[in-house]
């Protein structure tokens, strides 16, 4: 069996505060294989972006990785010295941020920024690096790349700037790309183009992609597997078709039930999940979702559920624990 490109094991991330350590990520584990797109979805505050930042080593004080392991193609990277991690970042792991203007220097031409990135990580001279910069712009769909390579970021539209950021991300042919809400600020037609581009990266380059988003439509179109996060934990993970068509965790069911369909009954009301994501300083005991869950029972309020395999999916929910007969009645009522 091949080694996953990214392997996260029992990851915990904490932020120091006057009230003590606040745990933003609490025991998250998952793998991403070569050429696979793993979608990570959940409400704001679920811990999606923090998980991605931890994987690329960008958790700044007062935050810190307080436990677990992060392995890149079998090499543990969460405990590497900053200089060694800096050499990995950009070369072996790249990141696409939500706002491309935060990734591009407005004072430098696009080509200069691409050439600098290419020469930092690859053994190329100026001429070779510029030729590769033009090729990268062409690959991500920038028209007239030999001319646009000398343009400044403000001369590009939002969608074109995001394409430039993707070109920067793939410049050194990384093993892993972490895409944090890469389509949020774009209109629908440009979204579809960026989604197709991300899918093609995995297919053509064998790049593993961790796609962080709150949009289940993007997940369904792009991902091979999906992890549903809630309050710093993974509630459910599995093949995207299984999770979208047959969600198991009550939170995942609520997310899917809140999506309008083109073929559904117009009179059928969409699901509304009561309440909101808990603050880090007030995460409930037991299952963090229990105050918002209509199927919660006593055990949910005192004991944290561990992931349980149900077919190709894994779900962290006491409803699916076969050791307790009480749970079976709840499972039947959920189904």
What is the C-alpha to C-alpha distance for residues 269 and 256, in angstroms, rounded to an integer?
13
Of 259, 175, 224, 242, give the one whose Cα is nearest residue 40: 224
Report the alpha-carbon distance of residue 102 to residue 78 in Å, rounded.
25
DSSP state of 269: P
Full pLDDT tens readout for the chain, 335 residues: 689 999 999 999 999 998 889 999 999 999 999 999 999 999 989 999 999 999 999 998 999 999 999 999 999 999 999 899 988 998 899 998 877 888 899 999 999 999 999 998 889 999 999 999 999 999 888 999 999 999 999 999 888 898 899 889 888 889 999 999 887 767 777 777 778 888 887 788 889 999 998 888 888 888 999 999 999 999 999 999 999 999 999 999 998 887 776 665 656 777 788 889 999 999 999 999 999 999 999 999 999 999 999 999 999 999 998 875 554 455 445 54
What's the pTM value of the predicted model, to 2 decimals? 0.88
Residue 100 tokens read as 């491309």
Judge contact between 93 and 172, C-beta under 8 A. Answer: no
């Amino acid at each position: 069996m091949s080694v996953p490109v990214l392997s996260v094991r029992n990851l915990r991330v904490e932020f120091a505060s006057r009230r003590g350590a606040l745990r933003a990520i609490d025991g998250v584990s998952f793998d991403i294989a070569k050429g696979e797109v793993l979608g990570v979805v959940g409400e704001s505050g679920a811990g999606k972006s923090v998980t991605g930042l931890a994987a690329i080593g960008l958790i700044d004080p007062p935050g810190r990785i307080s436990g677990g392991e992060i392995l890149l193609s079998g090499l543990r990277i969460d405990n590497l010295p900053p200089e060694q991690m800096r050499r990995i970042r950009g070369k072996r792991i790249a990141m696409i941020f939500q706002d491309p203007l935060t990734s591009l220097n407005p004072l430098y031409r696009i080509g200069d920024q691409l050439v600098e990135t290419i020469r930092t990580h690859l053994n190329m001279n100026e001429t070779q690096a510029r030729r590769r910069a033009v090729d990268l712009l062409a690959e991500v769909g920038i028209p007239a790349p030999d001319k646009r390579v000398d343009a400044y970021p403000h001369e590009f539209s939002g969608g074109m700037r995001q394409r430039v950021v993707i070109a920067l991300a793939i410049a050194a042919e990384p093993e892993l790309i972490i895409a944090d809400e890469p389509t949020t600020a774009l209109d629908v037609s440009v979204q579809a183009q960026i989604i197709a581009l991300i899918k093609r990266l995995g297919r053509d380059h064998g790049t593993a992609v961790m796609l962080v988003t709150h949009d289940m439509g993007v997940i369904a179109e792009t991902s091979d597997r999906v992890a549903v996060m809630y309050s710093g934990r993974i509630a459910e993970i599995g093949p995207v078709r299984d999770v979208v068509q047959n969600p198991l965790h009550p939170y995942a069911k609520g997310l899917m039930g809140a999506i309008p369909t083109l073929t559904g009954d117009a009179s059928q009301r969409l699901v509304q999940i009561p309440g909101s994501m808990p603050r880090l300083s007030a995460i409930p005991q037991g299952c963090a979702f229990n105050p918002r869950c209509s199927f919660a029972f006593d055990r949910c309020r005192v004991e944290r559920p561990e992931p349980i395999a149900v077919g190709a999916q894994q779900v962290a929910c006491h409803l699916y624990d076969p050791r307790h007969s009480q749970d079976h009645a709840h499972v039947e009522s959920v189904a």
